Amino acid sequence: MAKYIRHTLQDNANYLTSGNYIIQIVIEGDIKVVESDEKPRVVYKDEEFPLYSVIGRVKRVDLKHFHAPLNLQS
C-alpha cells in the first residue's frame, strides 16, 4: 500500500506542486514514535507500518500531528 500511495503522489507531483496543494493523511490507528520523531510508525490491528516509506522524514508538530514538505524525488 505504501508503494501505491508513493507512486500515486510521484506521478502527480507536477500537478500538486503547481497548485500549492496540501495533502492530509488521516490515519486510523495509533501513531508510535519508535525510532525518532522524524520516522513515526502507525500501529493498526497490531501491525506496525512506517510512514517514512510513504512521505519521508517528518517534523513533529504535536502529540499526533506531523508535517512533511512535499518531497517526492527521494
pLDDT digits (tens, 9 = 90+) for 17-51: 777 777 777 777 677 766 667 777 777 778 887 87
Provide the pLDDT confidence category of residue 74 given band limits of 50, 70 and 90.
very low
Alpha helix ranges (H) inside the chain: 2-11, 13-18, 52-55
Q: What is the pLDDT of residues 49-64, one digit of tens each?
A: 787 777 777 888 887 7
Type of residue at 36: S
pLDDT greater than 60 at residue 8: yes
Across 69-73, average pLDDT: 63
CA distance 21 to 18: 8
